[in-house]
Amino acid sequence: MSQIDENHLTTASAGGAPDPGIEAHRPAHAANGAAGNRASAGGATPLQRDAARTIFEKGAPGRRAFVAPALDVPQVDVSELLPDRFRRAEPPRLPEVSEPEIVRHYVGISKRNFDLDSGFYPLGSCTMKHNPRLHERVAALPGHARLHPLQDPERAQGALELMWNLQQALAEIAGLPHVSLQPSAGSHGELAGVLMTRAYHEDRGETRHKVLTPDTSHGTNPATVTMAGLEVVKLATNADGGIDLDDLRAKTDGDVACLMLTNPNTLGVFDPNIAEIAEIVHGVGATLYYDGANLNAVMGLSRPGDMGFDIVHFNLHKSFTQPHGGGGPGSGPIAVSERIAPFLPRPLVVRRDQSGAAAGNGAARTAVFDLERDGERSIGRLRGFQGNYGCFVRAYAYICSLGADGLRDASETAVLNANYLLARLREKHVAEYLPLAYGELCMHEFVLSGGPMKRELQIKTLDLAKRLLDFGFHPPTVYFPLLVDEALMVEPTETETKETLDAFADAIAEILSEAAEDPEIARNAPYTTPVRRLDEVAAAKRPVIRQAPG
């Protein structure tokens, strides 16, 4: 701990109470409701006073939470079973703590997190919609939670049927007939998609090197392309926020394997030229890949397959409300067209209809579900076993709850909420400082540019985001997409009430008027969070990424 202790000493002397100037600029109604969370000067909050201590700094030698079952088999000297040269000399320095200490420690640090159940979380491109607790309950049923992944298919029929049903539902939502649930997250689904594209071209005796991605794409797209051994070619964005068709035409040739696209894209813009884009890409024999991060805008309203996409990945943790877990688990199933289907990863869940006789009972036809392991042209396996089944249970429960109408309603409401929030921000004159980057309306999210705010009010998007923390909101995504100056990307989702959207618009307006008076307030924010702005440069320069042995 020596290193960091030194840091503490050197920086602590410069610290102390928040900027005393804040007191004067405190909103007049700061004591009311959510506003109570705002800047208050004169000393630290209780959470701030409670300095972070890790579990490795707690406990005492000899304490324990685990009691091993008694040794009920004949005692044999350990050295006889495991020769000394294979044995660990010193046990790992894990904590020595009692159960109550563990619970108090983790409950304590959990309170240093903001979470979706506590407040509005309009993080663009992440679809932070409500996570129904029903899903946790059904996923925890022992028949799901304690099912071994190698259980014989005939004794895992419920699980396989669930996976089959989910595949069918996702296929219908995507408008593409074949689904693999295997990928572990969106980025893993992308990798599957690009590898399948490669395999498709190789199968036709072609080697293609280039993958087109717009400059608005998620960073995972280009990173995936490189991992799949292909080369990224960037496409320009036109004045309406869609793909620049001239640039696309110029760059689309016989060496292009694929175009990766998000639609609506990361600007919240649905590309109206999608049919033409598909035609251009298909015209040279390339495939069209749909990054499903923004599927929440179009469920039951428009389908990637009908737009001409060949491959789609879903983010079950976004559109289908699998909880985000602080950064996972995710799940990234893929749906593909007929021509890509032979290359899907294995194993695949298949349904075989047996006649009554074969099934050994009186029923006329019985569906039997199985795992298909063979596939001559398959890209192979992307991970162990069948995928993140626990996420499938939750996503499937969600689809069962909503049904066809409910899914469409979810997307309609998500788009309604985004447009309403945008309208509210206009009404409150926020748009003068934070104009919509592209278009008039938006889909399920929108991107504002903080450029004018920075110039006229001397606060950056980062400052606005940090000040929002004092107002009890999770900030939107910031500085993405990269081509928008001082970008602020807002995705309210369908599960928020109008009142919440109003309160958020009010908060932004208030922060701007506060900045007009004194930009230092936002520049030094936040004030009320467990810690204030952190030194990320120092963290990267001299990385301390584990507790030093003490």
Partner 1 sequence: LSRYTATTDADLDAMLKAIGVDSVQEIFDRQIPEAVRLGRALNLPDGLPEQEVYEHLRALAARNTSAEDELTFMGAGMYDHYVPALIDMLTERSEFLTPYTPYQPEISQGGLQVMFEYQTAISELTALPVSNASVYEGPSAVAAAGYLAKLHNGRRRLVISAGVHPHSIETLRTQAHGYGMDVVEVPLSGSHLTDERAWRAAIDEDTSAAIFAQPNFYGAVEDAQALSAAAKQAAGDGAGAGGGGAAPVVIAQVDPVVLGILKPPGECGVDVAVGEGQSLGNRLDFGGPSFGFFAAREEYLRRMPGRIAGETTDVDGRRGFVLTLQTREQHIRRDKATSNICTAQALNALAGVVYLTWLGRRGLVELGELLLARTHYARERLAGLEGVEKLHDQPVIREFAVRLDADVAAVRRRCAQQGVNPGVDLQALTGRAEDRGGLLVAITERRSRADIDRLAEVLEQAVAAERDPAVADDPAVAQKTVAA
| β pairing state of 256-261 and 210-214 | parallel
249 binds partner 1 (CB under 8 A): no
Between 300 and 450, whose beta carbon lies closer to partner 1? 300
Specify the DSSP class assigned to residue 547.
P
Q: How far is the CB of 464 from partner 1 (least distance, A)?
A: 12
**Ordered strands of the 334-336 beta sheet:** 178-180, 334-336, 311-313, 287-291, 256-261, 210-214, 231-235
Q: How far is the CB of 314 from partner 1 (least distance, A)?
A: 13
Residues between 257 and 296 with contacts to partner 1, criterion CB under 8 A: 264, 269-270, 272, 274-275
List 35, 120, 180, 186, residue binding partner 1 (CB under 8 A): 186
Between 516 and 544, whose beta carbon lies closer to partner 1? 544
250 binds partner 1 (CB under 8 A): no
Q: How far is the CB of 54 from partner 1 (least distance, A)?
A: 5
List 184, 287, 319, 337, residue binding partner 1 (CB under 8 A): 184
Total residues at the site for partner 1 (CB under 8 A)?
216
Residues between 163 and 182 with contacts to partner 1, criterion CB under 8 A: 169, 172-173, 175
Instruction: Say if residues 265 and 241 touch (Cβ distance below 8 Å).
Output: yes
What secondary structure, in 3-state letters, does 122-138 show?
CECCCCCCCCCHHHHHH
Q: Which two tokens stand for residue 500?
A: 């919440």
Residues between 17 and 56 with contacts to partner 1, criterion CB under 8 A: 17-18, 44, 48, 51-52, 54-56
Q: How far is the CB of 26 from partner 1 (least distance, A)?
A: 19
Residue 455: phi, psi to the nearest 5?
A: -70, -45
326 binds partner 1 (CB under 8 A): yes
By the 10 Å C-beta count (0-12 exposed, 13-18 middle, 19+ buried), 411 is classed as: buried
545's CB contacts (< 8 A; 6+ apart) are none
Q: Rounded to an integer, what distance in angstroms lies between the CA atom of residue 348 and that of residue 343?
A: 11
Among 373, 345, 371, which residue's Cα sits nearest to residue 196? 345
Q: How far is the CB of 439 from partner 1 (least distance, A)?
A: 8
203's CB contacts (< 8 A; 6+ apart) are 342, 343, 377
* Contact map string, positions 511 to 540, toward partner 1, x by CB under 8 A: -------------x-x--xxxxxxxx-xxx
Q: Rounded to an integer, what distance in angstroms lies between the CA atom of residue 35 and that of residue 24?
A: 16
251 binds partner 1 (CB under 8 A): no
Between 82 and 516, whose beta carbon lies closer to partner 1? 82
Between 24 and 404, whose beta carbon lies closer to partner 1? 404
223 binds partner 1 (CB under 8 A): yes
List 300, 450, 451, 492, residue binding partner 1 (CB under 8 A): 300
Between 28 and 384, whose beta carbon lies closer to partner 1? 384
Give 350-354 contacts, CB < 8 A, sequence gap 24+. 350/164, 351/164
Q: How far is the CB of 250 from partner 1 (least distance, A)?
A: 20
Helices (H), ranges, 354-446: 356-359, 389-427
Specify the DSSP class assigned to residue 259.
E
Interaxial angle between packed helices 389-427 and 157-174, expressed in degrees from 0 to 180 and rounded to the nearest 10 = 30
List 177, 245, 282, 302, residue binding partner 1 (CB under 8 A): 302
* Contact map string, positions 350 to 389, toward partner 1, x by CB under 8 A: -----------------------------xxxxxxxxxxx
Instruction: Say if residues 489 and 436 touch (Cβ distance below 8 Å).
Output: no
List 42, 46, 76, 357, residue binding partner 1 (CB under 8 A): 76
Q: How far is the CB of 356 from partner 1 (least distance, A)?
A: 19
56's CB contacts (< 8 A; 6+ apart) are 93, 95, 547, 550
Q: Rounded to an integer, what distance in angstroms lies between the CA atom of residue 158 and that of residue 396?
A: 13
Q: How far is the CB of 519 from partner 1 (least distance, A)?
A: 17
CA triple 203-204-207, angle to 5 deg: 85
Q: Rounded to an integer, what distance in angstroms lies between the CA atom of residue 536 and that of residue 541?
A: 9
Q: How far is the CB of 293 from partner 1 (least distance, A)?
A: 11
Q: How far is the CB of 488 from partner 1 (least distance, A)?
A: 13
Residues between 440 and 499 with contacts to partner 1, criterion CB under 8 A: 441, 443, 465-466, 469, 474-475, 477, 480, 494-498
For tokens 């996923």, name the residue: 139
End-to-end CA distance of the chain: 7
16 binds partner 1 (CB under 8 A): yes
Between 30 and 278, whose beta carbon lies closer to partner 1? 278
* Contact map string, positions 82 to 121, toward partner 1, x by CB under 8 A: xx-xxxxx-xxxxxxx-x--xx--xx-xxxxxxxxxx--x
